[in-house]
Amino acid sequence: MTSNVTPFRNIKHVSLLWADPERAAELAALHARLFSPAWDEASITSSLEHPAATSLVAVAGNPKVIVGFILGQLVADEAEILSIGVAPDWQRAGLGKMLVEGLARASKRGEAKRLFLDVAEDNAAALALYRKLGFSEVGRRQRYYVSSDGSAIDALMLALDL
Ligand SMILES: CC(C)(COP(=O)(O)OP(=O)(O)OC[C@H]1O[C@@H](n2cnc3c(N)ncnc32)[C@H](O)[C@@H]1OP(=O)(O)O)[C@@H](O)C(=O)NCCC(=O)NCCS
């Protein structure tokens, strides 16, 4: 479901829910606003239906719309963030932090010891968020992403002890 109405921008009015595959189309629409190339509905559905999926959505407003998401996986004692995004009109309100901390809590309850992610080395907003939350660099994947102008960008591999 999509809405043109921006719910009151206060994270006190935001709830974190397990991501339901039934909301894959709404998630795909938000993903497409934030990433290029974006994940299509089928990819998001298969990520959410994966047995290892540990994914959350942040919802707000009435009716509730998805204003942020974090798609993760938990395998043995390692958790991974596959994708995270916050709707542009909700950014810098604390939602990204809320989503990462929510996934970290859920992963820890699932007995994960570390939370991993890959981030493009030029993604200043995401790097600032992860550094603030205590992630540290554990590796680099050379030329892992392709930017919109076709140039290659390294991925930094970050990890957080849970
Ligand atoms: C990265 C992203 C998820 C951050 O979400 P957010 O809700 O805006 O983040 P928060 O409000 O929780 O920010 C927490 C802290 O992270 C840092 N931060 C977040 N965005 C920042 C920015 N644009 N510039 C500098 N620092 C930033 C700040 O330290 C911020 O704390 P502050 O606002 O008190 O200064 C969001 O910018 C986004 O969806 N980007 C597009 C998709 C994307 O790049 N995803 C990450 C892929 S690895």
- 8 sits in the region (left: phi over 0; alpha: psi -120 to 50; else beta) called beta
Summarised one tens digit per residue, pLDDT across range 120-143 is: 999 999 999 999 999 999 999 999
Each residue of 62-94: pLDDT tens digit? 899 999 999 999 999 999 999 999 999 999 999
Determine, yes or no, domain membership for 28. yes
In terms of DSSP bridges, do strands 56-60 and 78-86 run parallel, antiparallel, or are they unpaired?
A: unpaired
Quote the domain boundaries for residue 108.
11-161
Q: Closest ligand 1 atom, CA of 118?
A: 48
Q: What's the distance, Cα to Cα, between the start and end of the chain in Å?
A: 34
| pLDDT computed for residue 1 by the predictor | 47
Closest residue by Cα to atom 4, ligand 1, is: 96
* Any ligand 1 atom below 6 A from CB of 96: yes
Average pLDDT over residues 7-35: 93
- The total number of structural domains in the chain stands at 1
- CATH code at position 25: 3.40.630.30
- Contact partners, residue 24, CB within 8 Å, separation at least 6: 41, 44, 45, 48
Is 105 among the domain residues?
Answer: yes
As a whole number, the mean pLDDT across the chain is 94
Which protein residue has the closest C-alpha to ligand 1 atom 37?
125
Could you tell me the pTM of the whole model? Answer: 0.95
The dihedral built from the CA positions of residue 93, 15, 67 and 97, taken in this order, carries a sign that is positive
Type of residue at 22: E
